[in-house]
Amino acid sequence: MTVSKFTRRAVTGLIAAAAFAAPAAAEVDFSGKTIEWVIPFSETGGSAKWANFFAPLLTEELPGNPTVVVKFMPGAGSTKGANWFQEQEHKDGTLLFGTSGSTQFPYLLGDPRVRYEYQDWNPVMASGTGGVAYLNAEDGAKFDGSANALKGTDFIYGSQGATRLDLVPLLAWQMLGMNVEPVFGIKGRGDGRLMFERGEANIDYQTSSGYLKGSTELVADGKAVPMMTWGALDDNGDIVRDPTFPEIATFKEVCEATDGCETSGAAWDAWKAFFVAGFPVQKLAFLPAGTPQEVIDTYTAAFEAVKNRADFGDISAKRVGKYDVFTGEGAQAALQTATNVDGEAKESVKAWLQEAYGVALK
């Protein structure tokens, strides 16, 4: 399998090819209305923080300044909420739905619980993110930039499920030769952090927004030690340091420093393919099937206005990290990047899921 197509240029090039001036929205007025932004995770996770960050900004830019309320529908690693959204039809433009990589991966892998089809939905905004893995203080004291001293430790990790976005850290830790036992069934990554805080888990990972909001306090208090980020892609498709956490080494760096871990070959190619699908375009906002074009254009113009705020770069860096935001046709192109993974990578990951966790996917 080749991964030459998995480059930041390929991701952003799709967006550039679709670049356009925000359309002049038709006369759509949301005065006096409430918009429900449904997130299929718990209120403690990164997706909640992402939606809660954008919601008041969206209120300011939508015509009529409607109230945007974020609601949560956790269950089955987001599959419950996504299946529900698949059944929704446009009524008056007051329903928005948010997904993350944990919604994309079951779709990509053919999880039998998936009854939703991304191509039926109308993407109006997409944004990238990163992720940070960290250890408790005791095990963090052993960490020297490699996982060599951690291989004899039994780790417990709170997980939403092996076919969710958690497969990126789980596969990374296995490649490092670490013994990490996932406890499946949590409703969001924030619940994984709570397990870590209570001492029920001794290793955790959060997407950037969740790490910025909650985990950095654990690090500052000496209760957690950053281990690695997943990194970011440069224009040549190489893994480089995450722009939000440039001081933290990437998984690639830790792998290179760890005995037996390889940054080439089938395992690396599979990990990188799912990293690309799950993080550079990690969170998306959708309107339901059947939404009229004028409503789609109105949301597109509103999110474009949010992105173009003079202070957006500063406030977003503190809340959700320094990542690209795509709108309109750019969001549609981003969706295609996020929902397409090389067949060989899929089969490799399916075989790993069967062997490691007994998860059988057709």
Residue 16's pLDDT is 53
- Domain 8-129+278-338: state its class: alpha beta
Residue 8's pLDDT is 57
Residue 24's pLDDT is 47
Domain 8-129+278-338 and domain 131-276, same fold? Reply is: yes
Per-domain boundaries in the chain? 8-129+278-338, 131-276
Q: Is residue 204 a contact partner of residue 134, using CB atoms and an 8 Å limit?
A: yes
Q: Is residue 98 a contact partner of residue 38, using CB atoms and an 8 Å limit?
A: yes
Query: Taking every pair of C-alpha atoms in the chain, what is the biggest distance, in angstroms?
Result: 64
Residue 9's pLDDT is 58
Residue 1's pLDDT is 40
The secondary structure element, H or E, covering residue 287 is: strand 283-287
CATH number belonging to the domain at 131-276, selected among 3.40.190.10, 1.20.58.1030, 3.60.15.10, 3.20.19.10: 3.40.190.10
Residue 15's pLDDT is 52
Question: How far apart are alpha carbons 346 and 8 in whole angstroms?
Answer: 21
Nearest to 46 by CA among 211, 167, 197: 211
Residue 244's pLDDT is 96
Residue 3's pLDDT is 41
Q: Measure CA of the first residue to CA of the last residue in the chain; give whole Å.
A: 20
Give pLDDT tens digits for 296-317: 999 999 999 999 999 999 999 9
Residue 2's pLDDT is 41
* pTM of the model as a whole: 0.84
Residue 212's pLDDT is 95
3-state helix, strand, coil in the chain (%, to 5): 45, 20, 40
Question: How far apart are alpha carbons 241 and 72 in whole angstroms?
Answer: 32
Residue 4's pLDDT is 39
Q: Is residue 85 a contact partner of residue 38, using CB atoms and an 8 Å limit?
A: yes
DSSP string, 64-127: T--EEEEEE---GGGHHHHHHHHT---SSS-EEEEE-HHHHHHHHHT-TT----GGGSEEEEEE
Q: What does DSSP assign to residue 153?
A: -
Residue 44's pLDDT is 86
Residue 71 Ramachandran class (φ > 0 left, ψ -120 to 50 alpha, else beta): beta
Residue 13's pLDDT is 58
Where the chain has pLDDT below 70, the residues are 1-26
Q: Is 82 helix (H, G, I), strand (E, B) or coil?
A: helix
60's tokens: 């300011």
